[in-house]
Structure 1
Amino acid sequence: MTPLAKLFRTTAIKLALIYLAALSLASGAVIVYLSQNTATVLREQIVETVDAEIVGLADRYRIAGIRGLVASVEARSRRPGASLYLVTDFAANQLVGNVEGLDERVLAGESGELQRVSYTPLGGGDKREALVRVFQLSGGFRLLVGRDLQEQQYFRSLLVEAMRFWLLVLAGLGLVTWIYVSRRVLKRIDAMAATGRRIMSGDLSERLPVEGTGDEFDRLAIGLNTMLERIEALMQGLKDVSDNIAHDLKTPLTRMRNRVEEALRQQDADAPARAALEATIEDCDTLIRTFDALLRIARVEAGSSDAVQETFDAGTLIAEVGELYAPVVEDQGGRLELDAGTGMTLCGNRELLVQALVNLIENALKYAQNPDDGGVRVALEGYRDGDTVVLAVRDFGTGIPDADKERVLHRFVRLEKSRNAPGSGLGLSLVSAVARLHGGRLVLADAHPGLRAELRLPAGGASGKRGNGVDERDGRADGRTGG
């Protein structure tokens, strides 16, 4: 996403644009309202002025006749202003006035009707517009009185210029708002988001920045920092508990296993206690693997940040896992099929991803035997899907019912058909935790026949996750029934 697109997706800039648009519409509506009402008031004033002058000139005509009217009109025509006058005889010949270039139909129109006309000032000049009334006097004479509209048009032009200026002011306000939002508000939000990503990657010592201004961002940061301190203390307690479990429980189990092995070596091959000792060793191994798996899942989900992160090609990873497990599958009378694409760059913990694929392959070997031919067929695939790299393990067994696909991702969950098989029900839980640590997810889908388990991870290390600091010793556990 480009920085500009990212900016316009933010709530702050959307609100700023909404306020700017609302203010522009309101300002435009006010200016249009003022313009229309001002034009109405000016028109009414023009009509009142014209009517008053017509009444005065008509009285002058009744008192002094045409000579008096001509003298009065000639005197008024010489005054500076916007008033227009014209007197014509019965043949439409101009007797006196300051108007020329009128259309003949204007003087021939209905008497007393208000008309908008174009005219030329006496002496020449550009065409202008005016509102006039024409009255027919006795003797065939006609009297025209009007008002030039140039002042009104000039006033409208001033309103238009004011509107343009105000729009420029609004654009400037919008620019200032954009600069403020982008440089201050968004900068602080981005800083908080970056800190949040580092915290999610496992660095719980990070804290949101506080500038000390006491604004809403500072209050939010202070509240979240208090919560993070509590979470850090809880996670440290979890780590301490995990270490205590590893030390206080795994160590005695290991010692007990060693003592049982020593006792087993001292027993005869057909001694009655030998079977019991072998079963005890197997139980000890199961408990140790369970502890390893639980510790690994807990540390992965805690996002501890000690493990090494590296950028690598997923195709090479698939080839290495395939080379490692192809003989294992062949020993069980089956085959492992590999199909790796190109351009599958990942950034993450290589050992954890190998462990996740190994868990999925071992699940397929344990629970995906084809009931038709009794053989085992496992497909290990990798391909690029847009911005996602998909690492998939497919088998051709009976699969998992849709209702159980989410449930088997939980710890210690085992389906009825596999309760008698060895395992603790933690394999898929570990795979799902590894996927989340790398910013991806584990998807279980029907393969018709069989199950398709997909690790969908961001290409090129888009997750930005850091390592998890888990012990890289063998912590595998079966997962088909225990996810």
Structure 2
Amino acid sequence: MTALTRILSTTAFKLAAIYLTSFTALSVFLFIFISQNTDDLMNKQVVQTVDAEIQGLAEQYAQNGINGLVVGVERRVRSPNSNLYLILDYSGNVITGNIAYLPEKVLSESDGRIQFVSYTPLGLPETDENKAKAIVRIFELPGNFKLLVGRDLEDQVHLKSLLGDALTLWLVGMVVLAGITWFFLNRRILKRIDNLSMSSRQIMEGDLAGRLDVTGNGDEFDRLASNLNVMLDRIEELMKGLKEVSDNIAHDLKTPLTRMRGRVEAALRRDLNAKEGRECLEDTLVETDELINTFNALLRIARVEAGSTGAQLEPLQLNTIVNDVCELYEPVAEDDGVTFSVSTEAEPTIEGDRELLAQALANLIENALKYGRPTEENVKPAIKVVLSANDEQAILSVEDNGAGIAEVDRERVCNRFVRLDSSRHAPGSGLGLSLIKAVVTLHHGELQLTSAGSVDDSGSDEQSGLCARIVLPLTKGQRGEGEGNEAWDKAQKKNATS
């Protein structure tokens, strides 16, 4: 009973019932429409045939009287057809005809109008099984003679019976076929839904690596399962990121908090003078600011990844952002003894948020200033910012001539709180590249970390360095018009000049 109730409550069963009911009602309507119109058409033809017979008999009666009429009817009776004839005398006795029995009530109505009657054909006993349907006209002639002319409706009755049988057969076949189709489709749909439900329960129980089955036939269940699998991939990634963040926070923030606690406990145990107390508070304030900056960076990354920063993506000239940011960092690099160069020959237009893109570029430059130092003492540190474009993308790269990042660490270094051993000596929280990656992902772009040739003045390529490349899609209006198109380059320069 439970299984039956479950099947009857499915959407597939309800849809099948609705379709079956609709097709049944439509079939019945078509049968009634066809049957009625066919019946009317055949009745009109029968009436025309009867009227034609009456016209012929009337001519014979006019020429030869009642005797000529009787002779004409007898001749027609001997011809095998569906026409009916009957002549009665003034006493109601049959003179000639091919009708054995007709109700007295019908014979009494001799006004010549069309009548649908039941009769018994000549030569058959008067029983219900032998009764037939006919359409007749009855006239009263001079001398109280009566003339009946009609036509048997057996063909119409037979046709209507055939239509009824066809409708019955059609309805039975349709119900059986619908039942078979529903059975197999319902089993298939229920099986797919049960698989989806089972996989969902496994995932809800904590198996985030589980995925919904995709059969590969491209139906709506496959499309649903594929979209849900993409969502589950994203959820798993976020949960993994949350776990890593929790672990990293517990690991990386425990040290400064412990150091702060130790400093405060040491200060409480000692009798500090005003100067020493102030220095202790200043050191604690610095540690506190670093912790606040770390949490602010985490919050900003979370907002960017969730798309809740309120960022308004609008058409931007990327070269203006690059020039503005590099203008701010160029004096800083010079004071730090770093050769800083900028190349923005391309003028790509992208859909983006100016503040977030400027923050991402600033983080790349700061990373290069902090960690992009050459390992050899006689090599001057150098940073090169290059903006280029192709037919589909804008490419913003920041290169340095430092030690670079090993290929095995390039993907890991973009995670939160990941700091390589070579960068432990410099201040930082390991969140810079995570923020950059989140911003680039929000702009439907890609962050690429590769080795770079030396960018120092000597032109030596002994140093590998790091090339951090941000790849962003161009606006639709600029696609296919990359810097490789000379005509486009000339038009851009002309517009800039004008």
Could you state the TM-score of these two structures normalised by the residue count of structure 2?
Answer: 0.49
- Residues 16 and 177, structure 1, Cα contact 8 Å, conserved in 2: no
Q: Which position in structure 1 is the counterpart of 2:364?
A: none
How far apart are the structure 2 equivalents of 1:198 and 1:257?
A: 44
Amino acid across the alignment from 1:26: L
How far apart are the structure 2 equivalents of 1:233 and 1:129?
A: 83
Unaligned runs of 5+ in 1: 262-483
When Rg is computed on C-alpha atoms for both structures, the one with the higher figure is 2
Deviation at 1:219?
A: 2.1
Provide the identity percentage: 54
Deviation at 1:180?
A: 3.2
- Residues 12 and 182, structure 2, Cα contact 8 Å, conserved in 1: no
Deviation at 1:72?
A: 1.3
Q: Which position in structure 2 is the counterpart of 1:159?
A: 163
Deviation at 1:257?
A: 11
How far apart are the structure 2 equivalents of 1:6 and 1:253?
A: 59
Q: Which position in structure 1 is the counterpart of 2:135?
A: 131
Deviation at 1:247?
A: 5.3
Q: Which position in structure 1 is the counterpart of 2:113?
A: 113
Q: Which position in structure 1 is the counterpart of 2:226?
A: 222
Alignment of 1:225-236 (within 5 A): 225-236=229-240
Amino acid across the alignment from 2:220: E
Deviation at 1:16?
A: 2.7
Deviation at 1:251?
A: 9.7
Amino acid across the alignment from 1:24: T
Q: Which position in structure 2 is the counterpart of 1:89?
A: 89
Q: Which position in structure 2 is the counterpart of 1:182?
A: 186
Q: Which position in structure 1 is the counterpart of 2:435?
A: none
Q: Which position in structure 1 is the counterpart of 2:174?
A: 170
Deviations 1:35-80 (A, max 9, x none): 1111111111111111111111111111122222111111211222
Could you state the TM-score of these two structures normalised by the residue count of structure 1?
Answer: 0.50
Alignment of 1:149-298 (within 5 A): 149-245=153-249
Q: Which position in structure 2 is the counterpart of 1:75?
A: 75
How far apart are the structure 2 equivalents of 1:172 and 1:104?
A: 50
Deviations 1:119-154 (A, max 9, x none): 211112412221111111122211101111222111
SS in 1 for 2:151: strand
Amino acid across the alignment from 1:118: S
How far apart are the structure 1 equivalents of 2:20 and 2:159?
A: 27
SS in 1 for 2:217: coil
Amino acid across the alignment from 1:128: A
Deviation at 1:95?
A: 0.5
Q: Which position in structure 2 is the counterpart of 1:145?
A: 149
How far apart are the structure 2 equivalents of 1:250 and 1:238?
A: 17
- Residues 17 and 174, structure 1, Cα contact 8 Å, conserved in 2: no
Alignment of 1:331-480 (within 5 A): none
- Residues 84 and 148, structure 1, Cα contact 8 Å, conserved in 2: yes
Deviation at 1:238?
A: 1.8
- Residues 13 and 181, structure 1, Cα contact 8 Å, conserved in 2: no
SS in 2 for 1:139: coil
User: Greater shift after overlay, 198-207 or 174-183?
Assistant: 174-183
SS in 2 for 1:120: strand
Amino acid across the alignment from 1:59: E
Unaligned runs of 5+ in 2: 266-498
How far apart are the structure 1 equivalents of 2:105 and 2:194?
A: 74
- Residues 211 and 218, structure 1, Cα contact 8 Å, conserved in 2: yes
Residues 1:55 and 2:59 are matched in the alignment = no
Q: Which position in structure 2 is the counterpart of 1:34?
A: 34
Deviation at 1:155?
A: 1.1
- Residues 50 and 136, structure 2, Cα contact 8 Å, conserved in 1: yes
Over 3 Å counting, the alpha-carbon distance change for 1:113 and 1:10 in structure 2 is same
Deviation at 1:231?
A: 0.9
- Residues 214 and 222, structure 2, Cα contact 8 Å, conserved in 1: yes
